[in-house]
């Protein structure tokens, strides 16, 4: 007997997710003292002081199970975003949200529409459920082609994944485009529009752009819209695993039935409640990204590196004629962790997270060195 014979057929072809390398790992591997990580779109400013204080105040409570319903966190989110708590759900990261939605809705006969060059966890979730992924090309500027996505929907389409701004391209779609897309979606065999899973992991960065749509504004008129965001990015709590979503009350009720009972841990809930009130931290982080993005664009131009303008806290740049994977290794040897893009089918591109000025400066210096060698 082979274990492969007894696992679910859908799980047979699954490949492990390739996570960004950790600083400790690279220090060990390359015998380096100083390493910076610009690989996973975390916030280099760190977590908010308020969140850190909340963590300290809750350490001694960890022998209790967490609140299964994240009551306080939903209350804070409700106040912050003016959405009723019945329309809010929480989970252990956006990754868990993607999987919960897949488990709840995706059957093997369903088609799920995904854009090319979008977050890899969507196709992994589709595969997990044994559904069919329909992959739609982007437009010529590495942006979601929302018209083409709507056209790809048919009777069998159960859901469409949209990321705004998108990871890894950093591009975004405007209010006008998104409203039109929602209108264009055809009804499926259930007589409803497909579920639109709007991933706003980089919402706080995207909202710097004037014509960026806030997904929560479309919930009232779109029964099958699910919007989700995370505390992993601008809020600097990636290590705690906490995210939240907004949807129709009925959908939320079903998500509540699907999720593990204590999915958001006690410390994560406490820190997230504090972080959401820390508007100053968000503004500080947005300002850093606006300033440092300009710096990086200027440096890329000076050294003749092609890049895609980003509405998030990372930039995708072209490594051609060098393979992204090779440049990634060369940068690792120099103590800079970035992200090669092979699993996104972008073998001559690299994604770099925008860090503190000193980190960005070091990254540029090392990039120049690698390009010269």
Q: Which residues bind ligand PLP (CB under 6 A)?
A: 41, 93-95, 119, 163, 167, 199, 201, 230, 232, 238, 243
Work out how close the CB of 245 gets to ligand PLP at its nearest, in angstroms, rounded to a whole number: 11
DSSP state of 185: P
Question: Of the two residues 188 and 232, which places its CB atom closer to ligand PLP in the complex?
Answer: 232
Q: How many CB atoms within 10 Å of residue 65? A: 10
| H or E segment and range at residue 254 | helix 249-258
Question: Of the two residues 105 and 119, which places its CB atom closer to ligand PLP in the complex?
Answer: 119
Q: How many CB atoms within 10 Å of residue 16? A: 6
Lateral strand order in the sheet of 88-91: 88-91, 243-246, 225-230, 195-199, 157-163, 111-115, 132-136
Cα dihedral value 119, 121, 122, 127, nearest 10 = 140
Work out how close the CB of 200 gets to ligand PLP at its nearest, in angstroms, rounded to a whole number: 8
**Contact call for residues 134 and 113 (beta carbons, < 8 A):** yes
**Contact call for residues 208 and 311 (beta carbons, < 8 A):** yes
Question: Of the two residues 94 and 335, which places its CB atom closer to ligand PLP in the complex?
Answer: 94
Question: Of the two residues 199 and 292, which places its CB atom closer to ligand PLP in the complex?
Answer: 199
Q: How many CB atoms within 10 Å of residue 368? A: 14
Question: Of the two residues 173 and 230, which places its CB atom closer to ligand PLP in the complex?
Answer: 230
Q: How far, rounded to the nearest angstrom, does the alpha carbon of residue 192 sit from its chain's CA centroid?
A: 27
Cα gap 217→175, rounded to integer Å: 10
Work out how close the CB of 354 gets to ligand PLP at its nearest, in angstroms, rounded to a whole number: 14
**Contact call for residues 345 and 118 (beta carbons, < 8 A):** no
Work out how close the CB of 238 gets to ligand PLP at its nearest, in angstroms, rounded to a whole number: 5
Give the helix, strand, coil percentages of the chain, each rounded to 5. 45, 15, 40
Question: Of the two residues 268 and 336, which places its CB atom closer to ligand PLP in the complex?
Answer: 268
Question: Of the two residues 114 and 370, which places its CB atom closer to ligand PLP in the complex?
Answer: 114
Work out how close the CB of 98 gets to ligand PLP at its nearest, in angstroms, rounded to a whole number: 7
Work out how close the CB of 166 gets to ligand PLP at its nearest, in angstroms, rounded to a whole number: 7
Closest residue to ligand PLP: CB criterion: 93
Question: Of the two residues 118 and 188, which places its CB atom closer to ligand PLP in the complex?
Answer: 118
Can you read off the two tokens belonging to residue 277? 């009130």
Cα gap 73→83, rounded to integer Å: 13
Work out how close the CB of 74 gets to ligand PLP at its nearest, in angstroms, rounded to a whole number: 17
**Contact call for residues 249 and 87 (beta carbons, < 8 A):** yes
Question: Of the two residues 168 and 324, which places its CB atom closer to ligand PLP in the complex?
Answer: 168
Work out how close the CB of 255 gets to ligand PLP at its nearest, in angstroms, rounded to a whole number: 15
Nearest to 119 by CA among 132, 105, 133, 131: 133
Phi and psi, residue 143, nearest 5°? -110, 155
Question: Of the two residues 231 and 317, which places its CB atom closer to ligand PLP in the complex?
Answer: 231
Cα gap 314→38, rounded to integer Å: 9
Work out how close the CB of 119 gets to ligand PLP at its nearest, in angstroms, rounded to a whole number: 4
Work out how close the CB of 6 gets to ligand PLP at its nearest, in angstroms, rounded to a whole number: 29
Can you read off the two tokens belonging to residue 110? 């369903």
């Amino acid at each position: 007997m082979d274990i492969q014979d007894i696992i679910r057929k859908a799980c047979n072809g699954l490949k492990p997710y390739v996570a960004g390398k950790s600083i400790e790992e690279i220090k060990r591997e390359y015998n380096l003292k100083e390493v910076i990580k610009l690989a996973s779109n975390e916030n280099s400013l760190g977590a908010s002081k308020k969140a850190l204080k909340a963590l300290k105040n809750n350490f001694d409570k960890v022998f209790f199970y967490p609140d299964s319903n994240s009551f306080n966190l939903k209350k804070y989110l409700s106040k912050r975003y003016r959405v009723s708590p019945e329309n809010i759900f929480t989970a252990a990261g956006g990754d868990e949200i993607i999987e919960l939605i897949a488990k709840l809705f995706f059957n093997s006969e369903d088609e799920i529409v995904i854009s090319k060059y979008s977050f890899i966890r969507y196709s992994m979730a589709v595969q997990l459920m044994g559904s069919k992924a329909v992959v739609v090309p982007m437009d010529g500027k590495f942006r979601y082609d929302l018209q083409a996505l709507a056209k790809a929907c048919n009777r069998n389409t159960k859901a469409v994944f949209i990321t705004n701004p998108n990871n890894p391209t950093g591009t975004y779609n405007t209010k006008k485009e998104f409203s039109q897309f929602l209108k264009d979606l055809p009804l499926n065999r259930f007589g409803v529009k497909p579920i639109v899973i709007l991933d706003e992991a980089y919402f706080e960065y995207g909202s710097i752009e004037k014509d960026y749509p806030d997904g929560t504004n479309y919930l009232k008129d779109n029964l099958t819209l699910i919007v989700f965001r995370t505390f992993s990015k601008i809020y600097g709590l990636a290590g705690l695993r906490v995210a939240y979503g907004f949807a129709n009350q009925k959908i939320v009720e079903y998500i509540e039935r699907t999720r593990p009972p204590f999915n958001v841990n006690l410390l994560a809930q406490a820190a997230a409640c504090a972080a959401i009130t820390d508007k100053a931290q968000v503004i500080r982080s947005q300002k850093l990204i606006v300033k440092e993005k300009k710096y990086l664009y200027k440096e890329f131009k000076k050294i003749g590196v092609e890049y895609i303008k980003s509405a998030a806290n990372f930039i995708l740049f072209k490594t051609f004629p060098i393979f992204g994977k090779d440049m990634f290794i060369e940068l690792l040897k120099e103590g800079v962790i970035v992200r090669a893009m092979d699993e996104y089918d972008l073998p001559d591109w690299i994604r770099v997270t925008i860090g503190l000025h000193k980190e960005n400066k070091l990254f540029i210096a090392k990039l120049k060195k690698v390009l010269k060698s």
